[in-house]
Structure 1
Amino acid sequence: MNMQMAGEQMLSEMVAMVFTMVPTIDVESLRNKFSAVMSKFHVTKVEQDEVHPDLHEKIDLFLASIKLEGKSPETIKGYRLELNTFAERVKKKTTDTTAADIRMYLGQFSHLKMSTVGRKLSVLKSFYGWLTNEEMIQRDPTSKLKTPKREKRAPKALNIEELEMLRESCRTIRQRVFVEALYATGCRLSEIQSLNRTDINLQTMSCRVIGKGNKEREVYFSFKAMYHIKKYLMARTDDDPALFVTERKPHRRLSKRGIQREIGIIAAQAGLDKRVSPHTMRHTFATLTLNNGAELAAVQQLLGHESPATTQIYAQYTEERKREQHKRFLVQ
């Protein structure tokens, strides 16, 4: 379709849209005014069934670049998914993409949480910011777009009673190991899922995990966790190197979805009203440890947070803890 035909089609569609909203409007006058404005621009139509190859090419270059920077495979996978979704819906060259295109794209996800929309925008900001720095485009279309404010909600951790209910409801050795390992280490789901048997140092009751940004850190197990881990490994008859494997043969490393499902089953067995996930156990580790007097900087290192501000959100003292602190430190 040439530019003249594309312009005529766009003009007709715009006039028709305005007419449906304001039926009493003078259509001919509106058409003339729109035509005068559009005469200053070259208009090309984006075909609905075609993604411009330039966009996919630039996405591949960007992903290769962040891989060299040391981004984790999980992060790169997430970026690829978000950017491919964007490419399928926007279908424009990177040089032609505007802030309005990105606003319209994000507007399609108004049913999602602001944190999710913010994450999508963050990926686009990283992508177009990189293109601008590499001088592949002249202007960053995301530069004037502000990240949506996140809902201010304290992480939902289990209290001590709920943690004990979770422990007592475990019906298999493996279920108990899930609970104890996730709680004692405060690990992310991906960190626990990728652990191998040989990663665990039985002498120091610790292991090293690879976290966000491909950064390695040491985490620690409790006596309870080590007891149940040893019991679980002794009962295993397979030779798979993974710490957590499927129950059915042939045994293989349990997926992240499999661990999430198992934690949900344990929570249902415990009769807990709240939703419990592997990340809930991480919240529980951070909250109960801080409430018990641990230093913020130490918990920050154990969780693998870059900023203490991220860890600070867990420092929500319980009423009992606040009352105890008041009695202990108030000068009479």
Structure 2
Amino acid sequence: MQVKEWPTDDPVKMYEIYLRLERGLSKNTVEAYVSDLDKLFRFVAVEERSVRDVTYADLQQFVAQLYDAGISARSQARIISGIRSFYRYLVLEGYLQSDPTQLLESPKIGRRLPEVLAVGEIDRILATIDVSTPSGRRNRAMIEVLYSCGLRVSELTGLRYPDVHFDEGYIRVLGKGNKERLVPISQTALNEIRNYLPNRLAIASAKGFEDILFVNPHGRSLSRVMVFKIVKEYAALAGITKTISPHTFRHSFATHLLEGGANLRGIQMMLGHETITATEIYTHLDREALRREIIEHHPRNISWRREHGE
């Protein structure tokens, strides 16, 4: 294969365009890829090397520095994944003949089970919300939609009210890679949206946010940070000591569906996971709950606890 001349344009900018247009990745994902790539660029600058001349040995040294800096195995794996993607792009476009990341291994990561809220804990959080205020009605509707539909926070903040189909009982969600999916929504969540809509329609929308469902007082969509802050505040008021985030409601949605007997493939479709592998983590949660139930209720375990005074 004949190698092209190194591009005169910024290769990172070209890579960003490739990620957005060719791979259809979201703005947040692209920014994360580029941010992680910047760590490699700083490393090669110190080593007085060119990115195009990086070798497998250089990359091993780079990974060793990440480890020495105390960066977690999970973060190391994410950084390495981004670097692999960049070099695959350079090879694909013909700027490099071989990929120096081909033999580069990611650190082993233990599968960390996500935090899950019990139904009673979710009810306690919702009960703390003062729905006599416009912001309270908005926040109650938001949290109910998070839990009822298992949305990512970016999907929630981007939800438009024309995509809420009240009569049919589903919402249209724009997920990762601009892929649309239909998700059933509970009547409880729909009622909370109905209660909030008069307040939403009374707010003058900023340009470009005319039909966004959940907005701030200035008529713009809420930031991810703001949704995180809202969830944390209500959890604290409800006396929830678990470390939670908006994503916790998504985990709880999937876990409660699985415990209720829902099909794993159906849960995958509702969550918008591309592969069943991403959804299978919830079977681990279910197995752990089953293990606890057996330990708690099986006659052999009961008799053992009696004998040992537990």
TM-score, L = length of structure 2: 0.80
Q: List alignment gaps of at least 5 residues for structure 2.
A: 1-5, 131-135, 206-210, 299-310
Most deviating of 122-131 and 107-116: 107-116
Whether the 8 Å CA contact 1:175–1:266 is kept in 2: the answer is no
Q: How far apart are 1:195 and its partner, in Å?
A: 1.1
Question: CA 1:55/1:304 → structure 2, altered by over 3 Å: closer, same or farther?
Answer: farther
- Amino acid of the structure 1 residue aligned with 2:92: N
- Say whether 1:105 aligns with 2:75: no
Q: How many residues align?
A: 271
Higher mean C-alpha deviation, range 122-131 or range 148-157: 148-157
5 Å-filtered alignment, 1:35-114, equals 57-69=10-22, 70-91=24-45, 92-110=49-67, 111-114=70-73
User: Among residues 222, 243, 251, which one is paired with 2:213 in the alignment?
Assistant: 243
CA contact (8 A) 2:44 2:51 kept: no
Does the C-alpha gap of structure 1 residues 106 and 56 become closer, same or farther in structure 2, counting only changes over 3 Å?
farther
Within the alignment, does 1:263 sit opposite 2:227 as a pair? no
Amino acid at match of 1:257: V
SS, match of residue 95 in structure 1: helix
Q: Highest relative contact order (Cα 8 Å, sep 6+), 1 or 2?
A: 2
Q: Select the structure of larger CA radius of gyration.
A: 1
Question: Residue type matched to 2:30 in 1?
Answer: I
Which residue in the other structure is 2:99 paired with?
A: 140
Q: For residues 71-91 of structure 1, what are the alpha-carbon distances to aligned partners after superposition, in whole Å with 9 as ceiling and x for unaligned?
A: 233322222222234323422
For residues 259 and 130 of structure 1, do their structure 2 counterparts lie closer, same or farther at Cα, with a shift above 3 Å needed? same
> What is the RMSD computed on CA atoms of the aligned residues?
2.4
Alpha-carbon separation, structure 2, partners of 1:157 and 1:222: 20
Name whichever of 170-179 and 273-282 sits farther off. 170-179
1:55, 1:94 within 8 Å by CA — same for their partners in 2? no
Q: d(CA) in 2 for partners of 1:60 and 1:194? A: 26
Q: Which residue of 1 aligns with 2:240?
A: 272
One of 230, 246, 258 as aligned partner of 1:290: 258
For 1:169-184, list aligned pairs within 5 A. 169-171=128-130, 172-184=136-148
Cα offset, 1:276, TM superposition? 1.3
Following superposition, the deviation at residue 321 of structure 1 comes to 9.4
Post-superposition, which runs of at least 4 consecutive aligned residues in structure 1 deviate over 6 A? 53-56
For structure 1, list consecutive stretches of 5 or more residues without a partner in the other structure.
1-52, 328-332
Deviations 1:225-247 (A, max 9, x none): 1111110112332132321111x
Per-residue displacement from partner, 1:21-41 (whole Å, max 9, x unpaired)? xxxxxxxxxxxxxxxxxxxxx
Q: Structure 2: how far apart are the matches of 1:116 and 1:261?
A: 24
Q: 1:308 aligns with which of 272, 276, 280?
A: 276
Whole-angstrom CA distance in 1 between matches of 2:260 and 2:99: 47
Greater shift in the superposed pair: 116-125 or 156-165: 156-165
Alpha-carbon offset, residue 320 of structure 1: 8.8
- Separation of aligned partners in 2, 1:85 and 1:185: 37
Say if 2:192 is the partner of 1:228: yes
Following superposition of structure 1 onto structure 2, how do residues 193-212 of structure 1 map, counting pairs within 5 Å? Answer: 193-212=157-176
Identical-residue share of aligned pairs (%): 34
Q: TM-score if structure 1 supplies the norm length?
A: 0.75
Contact kept? 2:44, 2:50, Cα under 8 Å: no
**Match of residue 179 from structure 2:** 215
